[in-house]
Structures are given as C-alpha cells and as structure tokens.
Amino acid sequence: MLSLKKVIPPSVVKRLPRYFSCVQSLNAKEIEWVSSSELADLLGLTSSTVRQDFSCFDFSGISKRGYNIVGLQKMLVEILGADMTWKVVVVGAGNMGRVLALHEEFVRCGFDVVAVFDADSEKHGTKVGELKVLPMSDLAMIVESQGVGMGIIAVPAAAAQDVADLLVDAGVKGILNMSMRNIITPNDVSVTASRIVASLQQLSHCVLFSCGKKKK
C-alpha cells in the first residue's frame, strides 16, 4: 500500500475529498495541468494552502506548469481508497436511514450498503430498495460474514452510543455518525460526523447575526 511522506493532518484530510472531486471534473474536461492558484480559486482556498497540502503527498508538481491532473487523481484515489469498494451497513431505518441505503451516489463512490438494521420490530422485513430491514441481533453476524468495514449511525441521539458499541464489537473499523450525540470508540475505530440539522442550525445563527465571511 501507498506510503505517505507523513501523517496527513486532519485539516488537510477534510479537504481531500474536495480536491478529488475537483480533479475528477477537470479530468472529465480533459484538462491536463492545473496550478495551485487555479485549484485554490476553484475550492475557495489560497495557493499557499494547496501547495502546503500537497507537500504531504509523495507527488510533485512542475514549475511553470503546475500539477498533472491524471497523476494527482491517482494519488488522491490511493490516499482516499477511492479505488476500492467498502461494504457498509446502515443502522436506523427511519427517513434518513432509508435514503442513505438507497443513495445511488454511494455506489458510484465505492460504498456498498449491504444491510439496514433497526431496533423497531415493526420495521423488520419491510423493504428498503432491494434490502430488507433486519433486527439488531443480526448485525454482528452480517458484519462478520460479509466483511463490512463501516457503519452509518442514523438513529436518535439517545441510541447512538449503544449502536456504536454494537458496531465496534461486530468489528467495523469506521463509523459515520449522523446523530447529534458524541460517540466514544476505541482508538482503532475512526469516526467522522455529518449532521445535517446541525449545519442548518449553524446557518441559522450565521444568518441571524450576519456572521460575515472574511473580507478579501
């Protein structure tokens, strides 16, 4: 596997998917080279940040031309593991859980939802696309037998930690937490959070108090 020049700091990791998306679309336009300042403009960053970020990778640009799109894309694919398919389970078959399980963009990006679980027995057996909602008691078995690497927590805050514990015990190595609750996991299980309502609430504050953007 790819060895990195150094551990990529969290601030940079957060930008990687955006670089990747941008590079994909430049590649689709058959553009071959991009400079740090062009990328910066596209992503709302400074060229300094872009060059600083790329210095983490084992990949170099060329003076006067910038970065080769194809090479950059290959590097990002490796760093993000975008060339592999992850098996994923969704816990929580509410509105959010159902969407996630159906989300065709996931498949396109290499995230394959293999099962949906819910604690509510009323929901067991009901269909979410191709999948049937399963009871929580099947979780460990499915994760192990199918080699599931990630779990998505789409349950109410009150249940989130219990679900996280189940996922960890079952053996997943990554958790996407969509609940409001902070969850605690062992050091070898990574967690990222994505909270849509929280984003709307932030926005609400910013609108009310006109939190400006930094002036240029």
Residues that bind DNA in the complex, under the rule CB under 7 A = 9-12, 35-37, 45-49, 51-52, 54-55, 60-67, 214
- Residue 5, phi then psi, degrees to nearest 5: -60, -35
Residue placing its CB nearer to its own copies in the complex, 135 or 191: 191
Residue placing its CB nearer to its own copies in the complex, 122 or 212: 212
CB of 53 to DNA, least distance (A): 7
CB of 17 to DNA, least distance (A): 15
Classify residue 74 as exposed, middle or buried by CB count within 10 Å of its CB (0-12, 13-18, 19+). middle
Alpha-helical segments (H) within 55-136: 69-80, 95-102, 104-108
Contacts of 102 (CB under 8 A, 6+ apart): 128, 129
Residue placing its CB nearer to its own copies in the complex, 61 or 181: 181
Phi-psi region of 56 (alpha: psi -120 to 50; beta: other; left: phi over 0): alpha
Residue placing its CB nearer to its own copies in the complex, 135 or 171: 171
Binding-site partner at residue 43 among DNA, its own copies, none, CB < 5 to 8 Å by type: its own copies
CB of 67 to its own copies, least distance (A): 18
Residue placing its CB nearer to DNA in the complex, 20 or 67: 67
Residue placing its CB nearer to its own copies in the complex, 135 or 170: 170
Binding-site partner at residue 104 among its own copies, DNA, none, CB < 5 to 8 Å by type: its own copies
The whole-angstrom separation of Cα 72 and Cα 131 is 37
CB of 40 to DNA, least distance (A): 8
Contacts of 42 (CB under 8 A, 6+ apart): 22
CB of 139 to its own copies, least distance (A): 18
The whole-angstrom separation of Cα 22 and Cα 70 is 12
| Paired tokens of 79 | 């760093």
CB of 56 to DNA, least distance (A): 9
- Residue 121's alpha-carbon distances to 130, 134, 135, 136, 156, in angstroms, are 19, 9, 7, 9, 16
Binding-site partner at residue 35 among DNA, its own copies, none, CB < 5 to 8 Å by type: DNA
